[in-house]
C-alpha cells in the first residue's frame, strides 16, 4: 500500500470536511475495516453517487456492497484479499470504460 501511495496510484485522504467533493474526484472508495460496526456513512455516501466500493466482508460494511456489482468485498485483516480486490476494481473500471467507448 505504501508503495502505491509513493507512486501516486492511491491517495490516502485522512480527514476532510469536504466529503462530497472528494468522493466525486475518486475512482473508488476503500474502507478495509475489521470492526463490527453499523453501516458506515462513508460507504452510503459513496454508493449514493455511484462510486465503486471496496470494503470488508464484515457486519455493517457488507450491507452496502453487492459483491462484483457496486464493489468488492475482501476478507477482514487480509492484505492479500484487499490488494486482489483493488486490482479487480482497477481492471473492472478499465473494462467498463472500454465497453462505454464501443457503444
For residue 31, is pLDDT > 80?
A: yes
Whole-model pTM: value is 0.76
Which residue range is the domain that position 40 belongs to? 2-102
Q: Is the torsion defined by CA of 50, 58, 91, 69 positive or negative?
A: negative
Instruction: Tell me what the mean pLDDT of segment 41-67 comes to.
Output: 93
Across the range 41-69, mean pLDDT stands at 93
Q: What is the CATH number of the domain that holds 55?
A: 3.40.50.2000
- What does the pLDDT average to over 22-34? 87
Strand ranges (E), the chain? 29-31, 53-56, 71-74
18: which residues sit within 8 A by CB, 6+ positions away? none
**What percent of the chain shows pLDDT beyond 70?**
95
Residue reference for cell 476532510:
16
- Partners of residue 73 on adjacent β-strands: 55
Count structural domains, the chain.
1
Amino acid at each position: 500500500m505504501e508503495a502505491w501511495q509513493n507512486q501516486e496510484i492511491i491517495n490516502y485522504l485522512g480527514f476532510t470536511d469536504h466529503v462530497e467533493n472528494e468522493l466525486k474526484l475518486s475512482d473508488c472508495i476503500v474502507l478495509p475495516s475489521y470492526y463490527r460496526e453499523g453501516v458506515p456513512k462513508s460507504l452510503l455516501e459513496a454508493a449514493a453517487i455511484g462510486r465503486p466500493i471496496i470494503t470488508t466482508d464484515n457486519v455493517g460494511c457488507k450491507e452496502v456492497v453487492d459483491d462484483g456489482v457496486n464493489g468488492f468485498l475482501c476478507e477482514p485483516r487480509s492484505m492479500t484479499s484487499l490488494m486482489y480486490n483493488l486490482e479487480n476494481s482497477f481492471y473492472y473500471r478499465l473494462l467498463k470504460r472500454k465497453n462505454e467507448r464501443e457503444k
